Structure 1
Amino acid sequence: MTGEFRNADSVLLARVEQVLQERKALGLEGLVGGLETVVFGVEPDRLKAAAAEFLDTTGYFFGTALDSPEATACVLQLPGSADFLLHARKFGPSPFDAEPRGPKSAHLPHTRVETLVFLCYDLERFVTIQKARGVRFMSPVALRSEASLFIQTEPSAKSALSYGFVQWLKGGRQYHGGHFREAEWSLPKPDKAHLRNIGVFDHASVRVRARERDNAIVEFLELTNYDYSLSVYVDVLNSITNVARLPGEPYAMVITSGLGEAAGGQPGPTEMFIKNYGRRIHHIAFRTERIRETFAGLKAAGMEFLVELVGSPEEGLRQTFSRPLSNTLMVNEYIKRYEGFDGFFTKSNVTLLTKATENQ
């Protein structure tokens, strides 16, 4: 390292403790729940192809098609898991257009995970508190439909993600009404045995710059009721994987950065990913039963991988990364957790998985 800057958990932990105290003092505790929906922007001519690709590589099913004057969309669903809402804008600029793209993402300029939407139990109160803290939202008030109240932040200067918050008014997830109406098209679920082994959405990993590591984690904690859990350092690859969790919820938020200034001017995999693709979510992970059969089935169906299966039952975890998918640029992780293991790496595979991202 150059000595100019290096992330340190002692600094982060002090800020995390301050966030937890402020959440309680401001009355934010208990207002935000788990992840409800992942909003994924895709190219206008690739919406159906991207949805079909998702159905063919996960356990998800087609839920409903949606249409509005501004966008066409569809919802992909799996019981017990967050929904994925894929949408394509019909015209006009995107709030994410200002985020620089890299040479490997420039051909799909509108393709990225845009917004992570979390359940909120009292949205008007939440918005009032967060506005007083200086949080900037994309609408002056929450958007109301028959089924929900919804608001989202402006894209973050730390992570390039937007965070959305929804209060369901009819007891469950309903996306039509208000902005969207139902459309009359659908896509079939491929009848492949290995897809039945793929389960709920486990985590997403967003890549941020080393200097924004603490800010990105703190921002996420300030907006949700998640708690900082752990950081895994891979010094040899100039990488830190940071995890936030909400007790009882399947989804974990993973924020990955470099350690600091690149040693000798040589960037690690995280910095190279940002250079090639821009700041964005690198991979989305799905819990997978019978992972060996699933891996073999995906390979036989034509999926290519960045790394072979790594880990073991004795270590508590087995996992792999796909190559980026053609219509979304997304890497899929397939992860098998043994006997309640809730970590993200084993001692033997953390370096292998981090280094695998160099192959993108």
Structure 2
Amino acid sequence: MTESFRNDDSVLRQRVAQVVQARRALGLQGLVGGLQTVIVAVEPERLKDAASDFLNTTGYTFGASLDFADGQGCVLHCPGSADFLFRTRSGGGWAFAQEPLGPKSAHLPGTRVETMVFACADVARFVEIQKRRGVRFLTTEPIRTDASLFIQTAPSKYSALSYGFVQWLGGGKRYVSSASRPGGWTLSKPEAAHLRNIGVFDHASVRVRAKDRDDAIVEFLELTDYEFSMAVYVDNLNSITNVARLAGEPYAMVITSGLGDAAAGQEGPTEKFIANYGRRIHHLAFRTENIEDTFAGLKAQGMEFLLELVGSQEEGLKQTFSRPSAQTLIVNEYIHRYEGFDGFFTKSNVTLLTEATAKQ
């Protein structure tokens, strides 16, 4: 490590306190709720394979196929959890097209977890306030359909993620609307007992550069009602895992970065991941019951893993990482928290999981 820059939680927490105060002063507090939908962009020729891969390795089921003016898609559901919308883009103008790739992602230039979409009680008011703050959106006004009002930010210069905000009209989620129509195809869900052990979407982890860590966290907090929860430092791997949570909601946002400037040859797994894949979501985590049986079942069906199960009932949780999907480049995490565990991660598990990412 060089001495030029190192992240410091005391600095971050001062900024976080200012964000919470500003949210109240601006009238943002209470406008944004829980995660509704995760939009995953995939190559046009891989849409069905990518969605099938997701169905084969999670507890999600097929909802509907969709045709949009600029591509196709499908929605996948899990009770009590955010939906996943896998979709393709045709033509030019994709907002993420200029985001640098790496040698291990260049063959899938149109593939990434692109947008995390949150519920919003009043999208018009939210946009008005955020525009005054200088937030850039992909459209000048919210997109209105008969099902929703929707808008999303331009890709973040810190995380390369977009954040979307949806106000459902007419009661409840509805993806078939005046802006889309049924696609006319479906996918089957495997009848496997171990897949029924895999439940709601627990968290996603986006990899950012060390110098962008504070800005990426603050940006997310400024756009949502989430609160900064914890940071786990793994000094020997030059890594910090940061968690933001919203009370009563199952989804947490995890932002992982380096500690600071690393000398050549001393880069940690996070810096190496960004060099190989570009800035993007590294993994999606799903709450898993009977995790030992589930792990064995996934292995038996051919899924490969970056490491064995780590953790124990005594420590409070067990976790593992799959190898990246060939269709989406996404790692699946399977996580079980035992009854009575009141944290989110343990440092020992974070260390082993972070170390395992070097294998991809």
| Corresponding residue number in structure 2 for 1:351 | 351
Choose 333-342 or 224-233, whichever is displaced more. Answer: 333-342
- Paired position in structure 1 for 2:237: 237
Q: Deviations over 1:208-258 (max 9, x none)?
A: 000000000000000000000000000000000000000000000000000
Corresponding position of 1:75: 75
Equivalence map 1:1-360=2 (5 Å)? 1-263=1-263, 265-360=265-360
Deviation at 1:177, TM superposition (A): 1.2
Query: How many Å separate the matches in 2 of 1:38 and 1:151?
Result: 14
Confirm or deny: 8 A CA contact 1:309 1:318 kept in the other structure: yes
Read off the aligned partner of 1:311 and give its amino acid letter. Answer: G
> Could you give the per-residue CA deviations for residues 152-191 of structure 1, whole angstroms, max 9, x where no partner exists?
0000001000000000011111011132111111101111
Secondary structure in structure 2 of the residue aligned to 1:292: helix
Deviation at 1:77, TM superposition (A): 0.4
Letter in 1 for 2:200: V
Structure 1 residues 342 and 72 mapped into 2: Cα distance closer, same or farther (>3 Å)?
Answer: farther
Asked if the contact 2:62/2:189 (under 8 Å) is kept, the reply is yes
Which amino acid counterpart does residue 142 of structure 2 have in structure 1?
Answer: A
- Cα deviation, residue 295, structure 1: 0.0
- What's the CA shift for 1:340? 4.7
Q: What is the Cα deviation at residue 263 of structure 1?
A: 4.3
Deviation for aligned residue 1:339: 1.1
Report if aligned partners of 1:201, 1:287 keep a CA contact under 8 Å in 2: yes
In the alignment, the residues of structure 2 paired with residue 264 and residue 44 of structure 1 have an alpha-carbon distance, to the nearest angstrom, of 38
CA change 1:250–1:183 in 2 (3 A) is same
* 8 Å contact kept, 1:2–1:264: no
Cα deviation code 1:288-317 (max 9, x no counterpart): 000000000000000000010000111110
Q: Distance in 2 between matches of 1:257 and 1:332?
A: 19
8 Å Cα contact 1:305-1:323 kept in structure 2? yes
Q: Distance in 2 between matches of 1:149 and 1:290?
A: 39
Secondary structure of the structure 1 residue equivalent to 2:44: coil
* Partners of 1:225 and 1:348 in 2: CA distance: 29
Structure 2 distance, partners of 1:148, 1:169, is 5
Q: CA deviation at 1:347?
A: 4.0
C-alpha displacement of 1:344: 3.9
Structure-2 separation of matches of 1:47 and 1:133: 37
Structure 1 residue runs without a partner (length 5+): none
Q: Deviations over 1:37-64 (max 9, x none)?
A: 0000000000000000000000000000
Which letter maps to 2:107?
H
CA distance in structure 1 between the aligned counterparts of 2:14 and 2:228, rounded to whole angstroms: 12
- What is the Cα deviation at residue 356 of structure 1? 0.2
* Cα displacement (A) at 1:323: 0.2
User: SS where residue 56 of structure 1 aligns?
Assistant: helix
Cα shift readout 1:107-145 (whole Å, capped 9, x = no counterpart): 011010000000000111101000000001000110001
SS of 1:348's partner is helix
Counterpart code for 2:304:
E
- The answer on whether the counterparts of 2:207 and 2:282 sit within 8 Å (CA) in structure 1 is yes
Give 3-state SS (helix, strand or coil) of 1:349's partner. helix
For 1:40 and 1:112, how far apart are their aligned partners in 2? 6
Per-residue CA deviation, residues 4-61 of structure 1 (Å, 9 max, x unaligned), is 0000001000000000000000000000000000000000000000000000000000
The whole-number CA distance in structure 1 between the counterparts of 2:102 and 2:278 is 5
| Alignment check: 8 A CA contact 1:144 1:178 kept | no
**Shift, 1:346, TM fit:** 2.3
Distance in 2 of aligned mates of 1:220 and 1:335? 24
Paired with 1:276 and 1:63, the residues of 2 have a C-alpha distance of 34
2:352 & 2:182 partners in 1: Cα distance? 44
Shift in alpha-carbon separation, 1:31–1:103, aligned structure 2, 3 A: same
Q: Is the 8 A contact 2:213 2:257 kept in 1?
A: yes
Q: Kindly provide the amino acid, as one letter, of the partner of residue 345 in structure 2.
A: F
Work out whether residues 232 and 347 of structure 2, in 8 Å CA contact, stay in contact via their aligned partners in 1: no
Query: Residues 35 and 251 of structure 2 are in contact (CA less than 8 Å); yes or no, is this contact kept in structure 1?
Result: yes
For structure 2, the residue ranges without an aligned partner over 5 or more in a row are: none
AA aligned to 2:315 is E
Give the TM-score, by structure 2 length: 0.99
Tell me how far 1:68 sits from its aligned partner. Answer: 1.6
CA distance in 2, matches of 1:314, 1:5: 37
Report how far residue 342 of structure 1 moved: 5.0
Residues in 2 aligned to 1:123 and 1:95: alpha-carbon distance in whole angstroms: 21
What letter matches 2:270 in structure 1? T
User: For residues 129 and 241 of structure 1, what CA distance do their matches in structure 2 show?
Assistant: 30
**After TM superposition, which residue ranges in structure 1, 4 or more long, deviate above 3 angstroms?**
none
